[in-house]
A and B are shown apart, each in its own frame.
Chain A
Amino acid sequence: MTPQVTLAGVGKTFPAGRVTPALHALGPLDLALRQGEFFAVVGPSGCGKSTLLEIIAGLARPTTGTASFEGQPIVDEAPDGIGVVFQEDASLPWLDVAGNVAFGLRRSGLPQAERDRRVRDVLKLVGLADFANTYPAQLSGGMRQRVCIARTLVMQPRLILLDEPFGALDQQTRLLMGDELLRMWRETRATVFLITHALDEATMLADRIGVMSARPGRLIDVVETGWPRERDSRIVEDPGFGVITARLWKSLREESLKTIGRTMPRGDGDA
Protein backbone atom coordinates (compact mmCIF):
# COMPACT_ATOMS: atom_id res chain seq x y z
CA MET A 1 0.00 0.00 0.00
CA THR A 2 1.37 3.44 -0.87
CA PRO A 3 1.90 5.73 2.10
CA GLN A 4 -0.68 8.45 2.71
CA VAL A 5 1.92 11.07 3.61
CA THR A 6 5.44 11.09 2.29
CA LEU A 7 8.13 13.46 3.50
CA ALA A 8 11.42 13.33 1.59
CA GLY A 9 14.41 15.28 2.86
CA VAL A 10 12.14 17.84 4.48
CA GLY A 11 13.97 20.61 6.33
CA LYS A 12 13.13 24.07 7.55
CA THR A 13 15.43 26.99 8.19
CA PHE A 14 13.99 30.26 9.43
CA PRO A 15 15.79 33.21 7.84
CA ALA A 16 17.72 35.64 10.00
CA GLY A 17 15.72 38.54 11.37
CA ARG A 18 16.96 41.96 12.38
CA VAL A 19 18.12 40.76 15.79
CA THR A 20 17.88 36.94 15.49
CA PRO A 21 20.33 34.76 13.56
CA ALA A 22 19.04 32.24 11.00
CA LEU A 23 17.66 29.16 12.71
CA HIS A 24 17.91 25.65 11.33
CA ALA A 25 14.79 24.24 12.98
CA LEU A 26 14.12 20.92 11.30
CA GLY A 27 15.50 18.07 9.26
CA PRO A 28 16.42 16.84 6.81
CA LEU A 29 13.81 14.25 7.64
CA ASP A 30 12.15 11.35 5.80
CA LEU A 31 8.85 9.91 6.90
CA ALA A 32 6.05 7.81 5.41
CA LEU A 33 2.69 7.62 7.17
CA ARG A 34 0.66 4.49 6.49
CA GLN A 35 -3.03 4.72 5.72
CA GLY A 36 -5.05 4.44 8.92
CA GLU A 37 -2.17 4.17 11.38
CA PHE A 38 -1.76 6.04 14.65
CA PHE A 39 1.62 7.74 14.53
CA ALA A 40 3.00 9.70 17.47
CA VAL A 41 6.02 11.98 17.51
CA VAL A 42 8.02 12.71 20.65
CA GLY A 43 11.02 14.97 20.93
CA PRO A 44 12.72 17.49 23.19
CA SER A 45 11.17 20.95 23.34
CA GLY A 46 12.12 23.22 20.49
CA CYS A 47 13.04 20.32 18.18
CA GLY A 48 10.69 21.40 15.41
CA LYS A 49 7.78 19.03 16.10
CA SER A 50 5.20 21.73 15.50
CA THR A 51 7.02 22.92 12.39
CA LEU A 52 6.85 19.35 11.08
CA LEU A 53 3.10 19.31 11.66
CA GLU A 54 2.66 22.69 9.99
CA ILE A 55 4.52 21.45 6.93
CA ILE A 56 2.20 18.45 6.60
CA ALA A 57 -0.80 20.75 7.15
CA GLY A 58 0.36 23.11 4.40
CA LEU A 59 0.72 25.99 6.88
CA ALA A 60 4.49 26.19 6.51
CA ARG A 61 6.66 25.62 3.49
CA PRO A 62 9.77 23.43 3.86
CA THR A 63 13.02 25.11 2.80
CA THR A 64 14.35 21.79 1.51
CA GLY A 65 12.74 18.54 0.38
CA THR A 66 9.16 17.75 -0.55
CA ALA A 67 5.99 16.77 1.28
CA SER A 68 3.03 15.03 -0.33
CA PHE A 69 -0.42 13.87 0.77
CA GLU A 70 -2.10 11.06 -1.15
CA GLY A 71 0.37 11.54 -3.97
CA GLN A 72 -0.23 15.30 -4.32
CA PRO A 73 2.50 17.73 -3.29
CA ILE A 74 1.57 19.94 -0.31
CA VAL A 75 2.28 23.54 -1.29
CA ASP A 76 1.16 26.58 0.69
CA GLU A 77 -2.38 25.33 1.12
CA ALA A 78 -4.03 22.91 3.49
CA PRO A 79 -4.78 19.79 1.44
CA ASP A 80 -8.40 18.67 1.32
CA GLY A 81 -8.89 15.74 3.68
CA ILE A 82 -6.57 16.94 6.45
CA GLY A 83 -7.85 18.17 9.80
CA VAL A 84 -5.79 19.78 12.54
CA VAL A 85 -6.32 20.10 16.28
CA PHE A 86 -3.98 22.65 17.83
CA GLN A 87 -2.61 22.86 21.34
CA GLU A 88 -4.15 26.28 21.91
CA ASP A 89 -7.86 26.71 22.34
CA ALA A 90 -9.13 27.28 18.80
CA SER A 91 -12.84 27.35 19.60
CA LEU A 92 -14.67 30.42 18.29
CA PRO A 93 -16.00 32.23 21.37
CA TRP A 94 -18.83 33.98 19.50
CA LEU A 95 -20.42 30.71 18.33
CA ASP A 96 -22.09 28.07 20.46
CA VAL A 97 -20.82 24.50 20.40
CA ALA A 98 -23.04 23.43 17.50
CA GLY A 99 -22.05 26.58 15.59
CA ASN A 100 -18.38 25.87 16.23
CA VAL A 101 -18.69 22.33 14.91
CA ALA A 102 -20.79 23.39 11.91
CA PHE A 103 -18.08 25.98 11.14
CA GLY A 104 -15.93 23.08 9.93
CA LEU A 105 -18.46 22.48 7.15
CA ARG A 106 -18.54 26.07 5.85
CA ARG A 107 -16.89 25.17 2.60
CA SER A 108 -18.32 21.68 2.27
CA GLY A 109 -21.26 22.64 0.04
CA LEU A 110 -23.42 20.10 1.85
CA PRO A 111 -27.18 20.73 2.18
CA GLN A 112 -28.27 22.11 5.55
CA ALA A 113 -30.03 18.92 6.65
CA GLU A 114 -26.90 16.87 6.02
CA ARG A 115 -24.79 19.40 7.96
CA ASP A 116 -27.15 19.27 10.92
CA ARG A 117 -27.08 15.50 10.90
CA ARG A 118 -23.28 15.39 10.79
CA VAL A 119 -22.95 17.96 13.56
CA ARG A 120 -25.35 15.94 15.75
CA ASP A 121 -23.49 12.69 15.08
CA VAL A 122 -20.09 14.19 15.84
CA LEU A 123 -21.33 15.90 19.01
CA LYS A 124 -22.56 12.52 20.17
CA LEU A 125 -19.21 10.93 19.27
CA VAL A 126 -17.23 13.42 21.38
CA GLY A 127 -19.79 13.43 24.20
CA LEU A 128 -21.01 17.00 23.79
CA ALA A 129 -24.57 16.22 22.63
CA ASP A 130 -26.04 17.99 25.67
CA PHE A 131 -23.94 21.11 25.13
CA ALA A 132 -24.91 21.99 21.55
CA ASN A 133 -26.20 25.43 22.56
CA THR A 134 -23.55 26.22 25.15
CA TYR A 135 -20.84 28.80 24.47
CA PRO A 136 -17.17 27.76 24.77
CA ALA A 137 -16.58 30.19 27.65
CA GLN A 138 -18.92 28.09 29.79
CA LEU A 139 -16.97 24.88 29.13
CA SER A 140 -13.84 23.47 30.76
CA GLY A 141 -10.54 23.36 28.87
CA GLY A 142 -10.97 19.66 28.10
CA MET A 143 -14.46 20.20 26.74
CA ARG A 144 -13.31 23.12 24.60
CA GLN A 145 -10.61 20.90 23.15
CA ARG A 146 -13.33 18.36 22.39
CA VAL A 147 -15.23 21.08 20.51
CA CYS A 148 -12.14 21.59 18.35
CA ILE A 149 -11.78 17.83 17.84
CA ALA A 150 -15.46 17.68 16.85
CA ARG A 151 -15.01 20.53 14.39
CA THR A 152 -12.16 18.57 12.83
CA LEU A 153 -14.00 15.23 12.78
CA VAL A 154 -17.14 16.70 11.22
CA MET A 155 -15.16 17.31 8.02
CA GLN A 156 -14.48 13.56 7.95
CA PRO A 157 -10.76 14.02 7.33
CA ARG A 158 -8.65 11.13 6.16
CA LEU A 159 -5.70 12.42 8.15
CA ILE A 160 -5.96 14.10 11.55
CA LEU A 161 -2.98 16.08 12.84
CA LEU A 162 -2.92 16.81 16.56
CA ASP A 163 -0.37 19.23 18.04
CA GLU A 164 -0.13 18.42 21.75
CA PRO A 165 -3.91 18.66 22.01
CA PHE A 166 -3.98 17.60 25.65
CA GLY A 167 -0.91 19.54 26.72
CA ALA A 168 -2.91 22.00 28.78
CA LEU A 169 -5.05 19.36 30.51
CA ASP A 170 -4.46 17.56 33.80
CA GLN A 171 -3.14 13.98 33.83
CA GLN A 172 -6.44 12.18 34.51
CA THR A 173 -8.32 14.14 31.87
CA ARG A 174 -5.49 13.43 29.46
CA LEU A 175 -5.73 9.66 30.00
CA LEU A 176 -9.47 9.74 29.43
CA MET A 177 -9.15 11.98 26.38
CA GLY A 178 -6.59 9.48 25.10
CA ASP A 179 -9.17 6.72 25.42
CA GLU A 180 -11.67 8.79 23.50
CA LEU A 181 -9.13 9.62 20.85
CA LEU A 182 -8.46 5.88 20.36
CA ARG A 183 -12.20 5.25 20.03
CA MET A 184 -12.63 8.05 17.49
CA TRP A 185 -9.60 6.81 15.59
CA ARG A 186 -11.16 3.34 15.33
CA GLU A 187 -14.58 4.66 14.36
CA THR A 188 -13.43 7.18 11.75
CA ARG A 189 -10.66 4.96 10.30
CA ALA A 190 -8.63 8.12 9.71
CA THR A 191 -4.85 8.27 10.02
CA VAL A 192 -3.77 10.06 13.19
CA PHE A 193 -0.53 12.00 13.53
CA LEU A 194 -0.06 13.07 17.15
CA ILE A 195 2.63 15.34 18.51
CA THR A 196 3.18 15.04 22.22
CA HIS A 197 5.84 15.64 24.83
CA ALA A 198 4.47 12.89 27.07
CA LEU A 199 6.28 9.61 26.44
CA ASP A 200 3.61 7.51 28.19
CA GLU A 201 0.92 9.14 26.12
CA ALA A 202 2.77 8.27 22.92
CA THR A 203 3.30 4.68 24.06
CA MET A 204 -0.30 4.26 25.14
CA LEU A 205 -1.86 5.64 21.97
CA ALA A 206 0.33 4.98 18.96
CA ASP A 207 1.02 2.12 16.55
CA ARG A 208 4.37 3.70 15.76
CA ILE A 209 6.34 6.37 17.58
CA GLY A 210 8.88 8.60 15.93
CA VAL A 211 11.59 9.98 18.21
CA MET A 212 13.10 13.30 17.20
CA SER A 213 16.54 14.68 17.98
CA ALA A 214 17.27 18.06 19.50
CA ARG A 215 17.22 21.00 17.07
CA PRO A 216 17.51 20.71 14.12
CA GLY A 217 14.97 17.91 14.59
CA ARG A 218 15.62 14.65 12.78
CA LEU A 219 14.01 11.24 13.25
CA ILE A 220 16.49 9.21 15.29
CA ASP A 221 14.25 6.22 16.02
CA VAL A 222 10.89 4.78 15.01
CA VAL A 223 9.37 2.35 17.51
CA GLU A 224 6.59 -0.13 16.63
CA THR A 225 4.38 -0.73 19.65
CA GLY A 226 2.54 -3.72 18.19
CA TRP A 227 -0.66 -3.00 20.15
CA PRO A 228 -3.96 -4.46 18.92
CA ARG A 229 -6.34 -2.00 17.24
CA GLU A 230 -8.85 -2.51 20.05
CA ARG A 231 -7.11 -0.91 23.02
CA ASP A 232 -7.48 1.71 25.70
CA SER A 233 -5.57 3.37 28.52
CA ARG A 234 -5.47 0.09 30.49
CA ILE A 235 -2.63 -0.87 28.14
CA VAL A 236 -0.37 0.80 30.71
CA GLU A 237 -0.63 -2.45 32.71
CA ASP A 238 0.96 -4.38 29.83
CA PRO A 239 4.58 -5.31 30.55
CA GLY A 240 5.44 -4.07 27.05
CA PHE A 241 4.30 -0.57 28.02
CA GLY A 242 7.21 0.00 30.37
CA VAL A 243 9.68 -1.53 27.94
CA ILE A 244 8.62 0.78 25.11
CA THR A 245 8.46 3.91 27.28
CA ALA A 246 11.93 3.07 28.60
CA ARG A 247 13.25 2.69 25.07
CA LEU A 248 11.81 6.07 24.11
CA TRP A 249 13.45 7.70 27.11
CA LYS A 250 16.77 6.05 26.32
CA SER A 251 16.71 7.58 22.84
CA LEU A 252 15.50 10.93 24.10
CA ARG A 253 17.49 11.45 27.26
CA GLU A 254 20.68 12.56 25.56
CA GLU A 255 18.75 14.81 23.16
CA SER A 256 16.85 16.45 25.97
CA LEU A 257 20.10 17.04 27.82
CA LYS A 258 21.46 18.79 24.74
CA THR A 259 18.47 21.09 24.72
CA ILE A 260 18.82 21.93 28.38
CA GLY A 261 22.59 22.35 28.12
CA ARG A 262 22.10 24.73 25.27
CA THR A 263 19.63 26.98 26.99
CA MET A 264 20.63 26.80 30.66
CA PRO A 265 23.48 29.36 30.59
CA ARG A 266 21.15 31.97 29.14
CA GLY A 267 18.65 31.23 31.83
CA ASP A 268 15.56 30.55 29.74
CA GLY A 269 14.40 26.99 29.97
CA ASP A 270 11.70 26.90 27.34
CA ALA A 271 13.60 27.51 24.13
Chain B
Amino acid sequence: MKRLVVYRIAVVAGLIALLEVLCLAGVIDKITMQAPHLIARDLWRLLASGKMNGAIAKTLGNTLLALLFAVGAGVIAGALLHRRRALRDTLDPLFATYYAVPVFAFYPFFIVVFGLGDLPQILIAFMLGVVAMIVNTLNGLDRVPTVLLKTARILRLGPVDTALSVTLPSAGPYLLTGVKLAVAYAFIGIIGSEFILSRGGIGYEINFAYTNFDNATMYPLIVLILLASIAINTVLSRWERTLLARRGAR
Protein backbone atom coordinates (compact mmCIF):
# COMPACT_ATOMS: atom_id res chain seq x y z
CA MET B 1 0.00 0.00 0.00
CA LYS B 2 2.68 2.46 1.11
CA ARG B 3 4.84 1.49 -1.84
CA LEU B 4 1.96 2.11 -4.27
CA VAL B 5 1.63 5.65 -2.96
CA VAL B 6 5.32 6.24 -3.53
CA TYR B 7 5.06 4.92 -7.11
CA ARG B 8 2.03 7.11 -7.75
CA ILE B 9 3.85 10.23 -6.57
CA ALA B 10 6.87 9.18 -8.64
CA VAL B 11 4.74 8.99 -11.80
CA VAL B 12 3.33 12.49 -11.31
CA ALA B 13 6.73 13.92 -10.32
CA GLY B 14 8.30 12.20 -13.33
CA LEU B 15 5.81 13.78 -15.73
CA ILE B 16 6.39 17.22 -14.24
CA ALA B 17 10.17 16.72 -14.48
CA LEU B 18 9.77 15.66 -18.12
CA LEU B 19 7.80 18.85 -18.88
CA GLU B 20 10.47 20.87 -17.10
CA VAL B 21 13.21 19.31 -19.20
CA LEU B 22 11.29 19.72 -22.46
CA CYS B 23 10.59 23.39 -21.69
CA LEU B 24 14.15 24.19 -20.63
CA ALA B 25 15.58 22.40 -23.66
CA GLY B 26 13.36 24.48 -25.92
CA VAL B 27 11.44 21.50 -27.34
CA ILE B 28 8.32 23.22 -26.04
CA ASP B 29 8.61 26.90 -26.86
CA LYS B 30 7.78 29.68 -24.42
CA ILE B 31 4.63 30.82 -26.21
CA THR B 32 3.12 27.34 -25.93
CA MET B 33 3.98 26.63 -22.33
CA GLN B 34 6.17 27.81 -19.51
CA ALA B 35 8.38 25.54 -17.45
CA PRO B 36 6.61 24.06 -14.41
CA HIS B 37 8.86 25.87 -11.94
CA LEU B 38 7.91 29.18 -13.56
CA ILE B 39 4.23 28.27 -13.39
CA ALA B 40 4.63 27.57 -9.68
CA ARG B 41 6.40 30.89 -9.20
CA ASP B 42 3.74 32.78 -11.18
CA LEU B 43 0.96 31.07 -9.24
CA TRP B 44 2.57 32.19 -6.00
CA ARG B 45 2.91 35.78 -7.29
CA LEU B 46 -0.66 35.80 -8.58
CA LEU B 47 -2.04 34.63 -5.24
CA ALA B 48 0.19 37.01 -3.27
CA SER B 49 -0.84 40.01 -5.40
CA GLY B 50 -4.52 39.40 -4.59
CA LYS B 51 -5.48 40.26 -8.19
CA MET B 52 -7.39 37.04 -8.57
CA ASN B 53 -9.10 37.00 -5.16
CA GLY B 54 -12.37 38.23 -6.61
CA ALA B 55 -12.36 35.66 -9.40
CA ILE B 56 -11.43 32.84 -7.02
CA ALA B 57 -14.12 33.82 -4.54
CA LYS B 58 -16.72 34.02 -7.30
CA THR B 59 -15.87 30.63 -8.79
CA LEU B 60 -15.58 28.80 -5.47
CA GLY B 61 -18.69 30.50 -4.08
CA ASN B 62 -20.81 29.65 -7.11
CA THR B 63 -19.48 26.09 -7.17
CA LEU B 64 -20.37 25.68 -3.51
CA LEU B 65 -23.85 27.10 -4.07
CA ALA B 66 -24.49 24.81 -7.04
CA LEU B 67 -23.14 21.85 -5.05
CA LEU B 68 -25.35 22.56 -2.04
CA PHE B 69 -28.44 22.86 -4.21
CA ALA B 70 -27.56 19.74 -6.21
CA VAL B 71 -26.93 17.65 -3.08
CA GLY B 72 -29.97 18.97 -1.21
CA ALA B 73 -32.37 18.65 -4.12
CA GLY B 74 -30.83 15.32 -5.17
CA VAL B 75 -31.27 13.71 -1.75
CA ILE B 76 -34.81 15.00 -1.35
CA ALA B 77 -35.84 14.03 -4.90
CA GLY B 78 -34.17 10.63 -4.48
CA ALA B 79 -35.96 10.00 -1.18
CA LEU B 80 -39.33 10.97 -2.70
CA LEU B 81 -38.79 8.89 -5.84
CA HIS B 82 -37.80 5.93 -3.69
CA ARG B 83 -41.31 5.91 -2.24
CA ARG B 84 -43.05 6.37 -5.61
CA ARG B 85 -42.33 3.21 -7.54
CA ALA B 86 -44.34 4.10 -10.67
CA LEU B 87 -42.80 7.56 -11.02
CA ARG B 88 -39.35 6.10 -10.49
CA ASP B 89 -39.87 3.44 -13.16
CA THR B 90 -40.97 6.22 -15.50
CA LEU B 91 -37.93 8.40 -14.83
CA ASP B 92 -35.22 5.73 -14.55
CA PRO B 93 -34.45 5.58 -18.30
CA LEU B 94 -34.27 9.37 -18.39
CA PHE B 95 -31.67 9.36 -15.62
CA ALA B 96 -29.72 6.70 -17.46
CA THR B 97 -29.51 8.81 -20.63
CA TYR B 98 -29.28 12.18 -18.86
CA TYR B 99 -25.54 12.51 -19.16
CA ALA B 100 -25.73 11.98 -22.90
CA VAL B 101 -27.33 15.44 -23.08
CA PRO B 102 -24.80 18.27 -23.42
CA VAL B 103 -26.26 20.64 -20.86
CA PHE B 104 -24.00 23.40 -22.16
CA ALA B 105 -26.06 23.48 -25.33
CA PHE B 106 -28.78 25.15 -23.28
CA TYR B 107 -26.52 27.97 -22.16
CA PRO B 108 -27.77 30.57 -24.68
CA PHE B 109 -31.31 29.75 -23.66
CA PHE B 110 -30.44 30.21 -19.97
CA ILE B 111 -28.87 33.58 -20.68
CA VAL B 112 -31.98 34.73 -22.51
CA VAL B 113 -34.16 33.63 -19.62
CA PHE B 114 -31.96 34.42 -16.60
CA GLY B 115 -29.68 37.17 -17.91
CA LEU B 116 -25.91 37.43 -17.83
CA GLY B 117 -25.40 37.16 -14.07
CA ASP B 118 -24.26 34.19 -12.00
CA LEU B 119 -27.62 32.46 -12.12
CA PRO B 120 -27.30 30.64 -15.48
CA GLN B 121 -23.83 29.39 -14.46
CA ILE B 122 -25.08 28.06 -11.13
CA LEU B 123 -28.05 26.52 -12.90
CA ILE B 124 -25.85 24.62 -15.36
CA ALA B 125 -23.62 23.34 -12.57
CA PHE B 126 -26.69 22.35 -10.58
CA MET B 127 -28.24 20.53 -13.54
CA LEU B 128 -25.03 18.62 -14.13
CA GLY B 129 -24.73 17.51 -10.51
CA VAL B 130 -28.26 16.91 -9.35
CA VAL B 131 -28.97 13.75 -11.33
CA ALA B 132 -25.80 12.04 -10.11
CA MET B 133 -27.01 12.81 -6.60
CA ILE B 134 -30.51 11.47 -7.28
CA VAL B 135 -29.21 8.26 -8.82
CA ASN B 136 -26.79 7.61 -5.96
CA THR B 137 -29.43 8.43 -3.34
CA LEU B 138 -31.79 5.90 -4.93
CA ASN B 139 -28.97 3.37 -5.08
CA GLY B 140 -28.16 3.91 -1.41
CA LEU B 141 -31.78 3.71 -0.27
CA ASP B 142 -32.24 0.47 -2.24
CA ARG B 143 -29.47 -1.07 -0.20
CA VAL B 144 -30.76 -0.21 3.26
CA PRO B 145 -31.42 -3.69 4.72
CA THR B 146 -35.10 -4.29 5.48
CA VAL B 147 -34.13 -5.72 8.85
CA LEU B 148 -32.78 -2.31 9.93
CA LEU B 149 -36.09 -0.66 9.09
CA LYS B 150 -37.90 -3.37 11.04
CA THR B 151 -35.56 -2.72 13.95
CA ALA B 152 -36.46 0.97 13.81
CA ARG B 153 -40.14 0.05 14.02
CA ILE B 154 -39.52 -2.26 16.98
CA LEU B 155 -37.64 0.58 18.70
CA ARG B 156 -40.68 2.76 17.98
CA LEU B 157 -38.72 5.44 16.12
CA GLY B 158 -40.79 8.02 14.25
CA PRO B 159 -40.40 8.54 10.48
CA VAL B 160 -38.04 11.50 10.84
CA ASP B 161 -35.94 9.77 13.48
CA THR B 162 -35.81 6.63 11.32
CA ALA B 163 -34.68 8.65 8.31
CA LEU B 164 -31.99 10.53 10.23
CA SER B 165 -30.68 7.77 12.48
CA VAL B 166 -31.11 4.63 10.34
CA THR B 167 -31.79 5.27 6.65
CA LEU B 168 -29.34 8.11 6.00
CA PRO B 169 -26.36 6.62 7.86
CA SER B 170 -27.01 3.26 6.24
CA ALA B 171 -27.05 4.83 2.77
CA GLY B 172 -24.17 7.14 3.75
CA PRO B 173 -21.35 5.72 1.61
CA TYR B 174 -23.56 5.83 -1.50
CA LEU B 175 -24.57 9.42 -0.78
CA LEU B 176 -20.91 10.30 -0.46
CA THR B 177 -20.26 8.81 -3.91
CA GLY B 178 -23.01 11.10 -5.19
CA VAL B 179 -21.44 14.10 -3.47
CA LYS B 180 -18.05 13.34 -5.02
CA LEU B 181 -19.58 13.27 -8.48
CA ALA B 182 -21.60 16.40 -7.77
CA VAL B 183 -18.40 18.23 -6.74
CA ALA B 184 -16.75 17.33 -10.03
CA TYR B 185 -19.85 18.29 -12.04
CA ALA B 186 -20.28 21.57 -10.16
CA PHE B 187 -16.70 22.55 -11.00
CA ILE B 188 -17.14 21.57 -14.64
CA GLY B 189 -20.43 23.45 -14.85
CA ILE B 190 -19.20 26.67 -13.25
CA ILE B 191 -15.80 26.92 -14.91
CA GLY B 192 -17.13 25.76 -18.26
CA SER B 193 -19.84 28.38 -18.33
CA GLU B 194 -17.41 31.06 -17.14
CA PHE B 195 -15.38 30.20 -20.23
CA ILE B 196 -18.27 30.60 -22.63
CA LEU B 197 -19.82 33.85 -21.48
CA SER B 198 -19.20 35.57 -18.21
CA ARG B 199 -17.70 38.70 -16.75
CA GLY B 200 -15.70 37.12 -13.97
CA GLY B 201 -14.48 33.97 -12.30
CA ILE B 202 -11.46 31.76 -12.82
CA GLY B 203 -12.83 30.32 -16.05
CA TYR B 204 -13.27 33.82 -17.45
CA GLU B 205 -9.75 34.85 -16.36
CA ILE B 206 -8.24 31.78 -18.00
CA ASN B 207 -10.05 32.54 -21.22
CA PHE B 208 -9.06 36.22 -21.02
CA ALA B 209 -5.39 35.34 -20.44
CA TYR B 210 -5.55 32.83 -23.29
CA THR B 211 -6.82 35.37 -25.82
CA ASN B 212 -4.09 37.80 -24.68
CA PHE B 213 -1.17 35.33 -24.86
CA ASP B 214 -0.77 35.84 -21.11
CA ASN B 215 0.80 32.50 -20.20
CA ALA B 216 2.01 33.89 -16.88
CA THR B 217 -1.65 34.06 -15.80
CA MET B 218 -3.28 31.24 -17.74
CA TYR B 219 -1.15 28.27 -16.61
CA PRO B 220 -1.07 29.20 -12.93
CA LEU B 221 -4.88 29.50 -12.94
CA ILE B 222 -5.25 26.08 -14.58
CA VAL B 223 -2.96 24.62 -11.94
CA LEU B 224 -4.98 26.38 -9.24
CA ILE B 225 -8.20 24.74 -10.43
CA LEU B 226 -6.48 21.37 -10.58
CA LEU B 227 -5.20 21.77 -7.03
CA ALA B 228 -8.58 22.85 -5.66
CA SER B 229 -10.43 19.99 -7.32
CA ILE B 230 -7.86 17.40 -6.24
CA ALA B 231 -7.85 18.73 -2.66
CA ILE B 232 -11.63 18.51 -2.30
CA ASN B 233 -11.71 15.06 -3.87
CA THR B 234 -8.95 13.81 -1.60
CA VAL B 235 -10.77 14.96 1.53
CA LEU B 236 -14.00 13.28 0.42
CA SER B 237 -12.21 10.07 -0.58
CA ARG B 238 -10.49 9.92 2.81
CA TRP B 239 -13.82 10.30 4.55
CA GLU B 240 -15.36 7.65 2.30
CA ARG B 241 -12.51 5.26 3.06
CA THR B 242 -12.95 5.73 6.81
CA LEU B 243 -16.66 4.99 6.51
CA LEU B 244 -16.08 1.91 4.39
CA ALA B 245 -13.20 0.60 6.52
CA ARG B 246 -15.46 0.79 9.55
CA ARG B 247 -17.99 -1.32 7.69
CA GLY B 248 -15.44 -3.92 6.78
CA ALA B 249 -15.18 -3.23 3.07
CA ARG B 250 -11.41 -3.53 2.63
Contacts and interface: CB of A to CB of B under 8 A. Distances in A.
B155 A103 contact: yes
Contact of A94 (B147, B155, B247, B249): B247
A222 interface: no
A80 B247 contact: no
A83 B153 CA distance: 11
A70 to B, nearest CB: 16
SS class, residues of chain B in contact with chain A: helix
Given A86-B147, A94-B247, A137-B247, A78 B169 contact: no
B157 interface: yes
Contacts of A224: none
A135 interface: yes
A65 B197 CA distance: 70
Nearest to B245: A137
Nearest to A57: B154
The residue in B170, B246, B249 that gathers the most chain A C-beta atoms within 10 A of its C-beta is: B246
Given A92-B169, A104-B155, A137 B246 contact: yes
Interface in B93-110: none
A15 B246 CA distance: 41
A192 B139 CA distance: 37
Given A86-B147, A137-B248, A92 B166 contact: yes
B165 interface: yes
B153 A138 contact: no
Interface string B231-250: 00000000000010011110
Contacts, number: 63
A183 B56 CA distance: 66
Nearest to A107: B156
A90 B151 contact: yes
B170 to A, nearest CB: 7
Interface string B138-155: 000000010110110111
Contact of A107 (B145, B147, B157, B169): B157
Nearest to A148: B151
Interface residues of A, number: 25
Nearest to B150: A59
A106 interface: yes
A59 B147 contact: no
A135 B148 CA distance: 16
B248 A78 contact: no
B248 A106 contact: no
Contacts of B161: 106
Contacts of A136: 248
A104 B166 CA distance: 12
A102 to B, nearest CB: 11
A209 to B, nearest CB: 24
Interface of B: 145, 147-148, 150-151, 153-157, 161, 165-166, 169-170, 172, 243, 246-249
26 contacts: A77-B156, A80-B156, A83-B154, A84-B150, A86-B147, A86-B150, A88-B145, A88-B147, A89-B145, A89-B147, A90-B145, A90-B151, A92-B148, A92-B166, A92-B170, A93-B246, A94-B246, A94-B247, A103-B155, A106-B157, A106-B165, A107-B157, A135-B246, A135-B248, A137-B248, A155-B155
Given A77-B153, A78-B154, A104-B155, 10 more contacts: A78-B155, A86-B151, A88-B147, A89-B145, A90-B147, A90-B148, A92-B170, A93-B247, A106-B157, A106-B165
